[in-house]
Amino acid sequence: MSSINKPGLAKLNTQSTTLGSASFKSTTANKLASSTRSGQSYGIMAQRSAVGSGAIFNVKRYNSASISAQRHALNDNRAVIRNNNIVAPPTAHNCSGNNSMNKYAAALAITGMLTKTLGSVVSASKSSNAAQTSSVAKNGTAGVINELATAKNSADIQKGLAKVETEMKDYETKIAKAEETISKETKLKSENENKLKDTETQISAQKQNITKQEGTITKLQSSIQTDKMTLSTLKSQLSSAGELAKVSLQSQISELEAKINQEETQLKEAQDSKAESEKKLEELGKTKENLTNQISTNEKNIQEAEAEKNSASSKKDSLEEAKVKYTKKLSETQNKESKELSKLHTEIANYAKEFQETTDADKKSKLAQKYAGKAKEYNELVRNSTVSGHTEVGLDLNS
């Protein structure tokens, strides 16, 4: 244990510039296990031989007869390295015998997991960004126009124009669908607005009826109360009235009772009418709310359809401009390729003719090489051109 006389943590050089590379834990374990050979101390764990990248971190496995001995070995001459290798005061470590967790090993394990996870996240992010960039470059209006702009021959231009036609048809379909939605939603909105006006008219009528019936109810209740008081007075006079007076009082009482009965009937009718209007008013309120929501939905659908139509129309216009531009370019490219094909065909025909006419073996070999070079160029142009009247030729004059 003479290594304890040289305390401190030597640089392990385990940093990696690439996330998700070799295990930080295993690298550190090997460094720790072999550190005693250079006379550098890492505490009790570093005083063991390399018995495996996992075992070196197992505190309980290295507990000897005395937990105290281990505690002293960890704490004696130990320094803590912080903030870019600035040495801080020694820190005590309580290594309990019933604690099976080695915090240093756990920290290293967590570091390894974070390294691996972050590496995966970075890799996935890069892959996702690359895929999105590729998708944008190849698909959609911009992708199709870009494909035409980078076309190298008439075949590529023709393929691009075919894609333009397909894209334009798709946008025409979208425009037609959007127009259909706009028409449908505009009609529904108009119908719902008319229903809403009718509902609001009904609501106003029910409110007016409630106000009217409330006035009638108040008036009848007051009249009935007054008539009942009068009736009570008339009845109290019967006992002291003469015969003629009784007849008169009885007639008044009968008339008043009939009036009260009529007023009570009218009161009930007014109360029933008010209650019915209140019920209808509640239903009409719900209808108004539903119609208002439907109108909002109609307006939203119209706005979205108009936005879709405008977007599709704009892209279709761009494609139409590209179609005109690159249809012209196709014609120009075909003319250029036609001239080049004719030129190459004449050259290889001349080589073939001269090859047949000469008997000099060396000259034949040179002519065959020149022919093969031009023939390859000719065939390549035939494959990548839409010019008619040309077919590929053989490459070997000797066959």
- Digit-coded pLDDT (tens) for 132-161: 444 444 567 888 889 889 988 999 999 999
Residue 245 clears pLDDT 90, i.e. is over it: no
Q: How far is CA 242 from CA 233, 245, 318, in A?
A: 16, 5, 111
Average pLDDT (89-110) is 51
Average pLDDT (23-29) is 58
Q: Are 188 and 360 in contact (CB under 8 A)?
A: no
Q: Which band of pLDDT confidence, cut at 50, 70 and 90, is reported for residue 49?
A: very low
- Residue 16 CA to residue 22 CA, distance in Å, equals 8
Tell the residue number behind the tokens 């005109």, with chain if given.
324
Contacts of 186 (CB under 8 A, 6+ apart): 298, 302
Q: Which band of pLDDT confidence, cut at 50, 70 and 90, is reported for residue 325?
A: very high
361 CB-side CA count, 13 A = 0
Contacts of 202 (CB under 8 A, 6+ apart): 280, 284
Residue 44 clears pLDDT 60, i.e. is over it: no
Residue 396 clears pLDDT 90, i.e. is over it: no
pLDDT of residue 118: 55
- Give the helix, strand, coil percentages of the chain, each rounded to 5: 75, 0, 20
Q: Mapping DSSP to helix (H, G, I), strand (E, B) and coil, where does residue 82 land? A: strand
Q: Which long-range contacts (CB under 8 A, 24 or more apart) does 85-94 make?
A: 87/8
Residue 6 clears pLDDT 50, i.e. is over it: no
- pLDDT higher for 144 or 122? 144
Residue 339 clears pLDDT 80, i.e. is over it: yes
- Residue 156 CA to residue 351 CA, distance in Å, equals 30
pLDDT of residue 63: 44
pLDDT of residue 35: 47
Instruction: Annotate 34-56 with three-state secondary structure.
Output: HHHHHCCCCCHHHHCCCCCCCHH
Residue 32 clears pLDDT 90, i.e. is over it: no
Average pLDDT (36-52) is 44
Average pLDDT (244-260) is 89
Residue 15 clears pLDDT 80, i.e. is over it: no
Q: Which band of pLDDT confidence, cut at 50, 70 and 90, is reported for residue 295?
A: very high
Tell the residue number behind the tokens 């496995």, with chain if given.
61
pLDDT of residue 213: 96
At residue 288, φ and ψ (nearest 5 deg) are -65, -45
Domain boundary assignment for the chain: 2-135, 154-328
Q: Are 202 and 280 in contact (CB under 8 A)?
A: yes
pLDDT of residue 29: 57
Q: Which band of pLDDT confidence, cut at 50, 70 and 90, is reported for residue 218?
A: very high
Domain 154-328: give its CATH architecture.
Orthogonal Bundle (1.10)
Q: Mapping DSSP to helix (H, G, I), strand (E, B) and coil, where does residue 86 land? A: strand
Burial class (CB in 10 A: 0-12, 13-18, 19+), 14: middle
- Residue 327 CA to residue 82 CA, distance in Å, equals 70
Strand partners, 299: none
Residue 102 clears pLDDT 70, i.e. is over it: no
